[in-house]
Amino acid sequence: SDVIFFNSQKHPSGHIWLTGDNRTGAGDGDDEQIIVKLNSLSEQYQRIIFVVSIYDGAKRNQHFGQVKNAFIRAVDGSGKEMVRFDLSGIGQYDQQRSLLFAELVRESNGWKFNALGSSSASDNFVEWLKKYV
């Protein structure tokens, strides 16, 4: 499997990339984006998962409940928001450091998007990946 993250921001195919790693939250709009050109991906790719995590969150005692205006969302090619999880404040994602956001699964007639929203106190995205290998 292939992993796109802050230390490896572009997939070898050139069809998936991370626009950057914003660790401060400064700026307006979407601080980080993952761009995926689904129609250009080779048939060998059957599933894509999306995980968001707070880098070194456990070590620094940080979690989503402490981050203002934290969210993750999926937007289609026309700019329409398909799903959004608000991660900030007290609630479901308080004390959580990572989130298995969604998966895309290739089907015979195209890609199926599944919003998942499963969270963890762990900040290690590799723990999520282990469930898929």
Which pLDDT score is estimated for 132? 80
Please name the residues in contact with 61: beta carbons below 8 A apart, sequence gap of 6 or more: none
- Cβ burial of 120 (10 Å; 0-12, 13-18, 19+) is middle
Average pLDDT score over residue span 66-94: 84
22 has pLDDT over 90: no
At residue 25 the predicted structure's pLDDT band, cuts being 50, 70 and 90, is low
What confidence category does residue 28 fall into, taking pLDDT thresholds of 50, 70 and 90?
low
The residue written with tokens 């995205």 in the block is 125
Q: Is the model's pLDDT at 68 over the cut of 90?
A: no
Cα(14)–Cα(8) distance, integer angstroms: 12
Average pLDDT over residues 29-56: 88
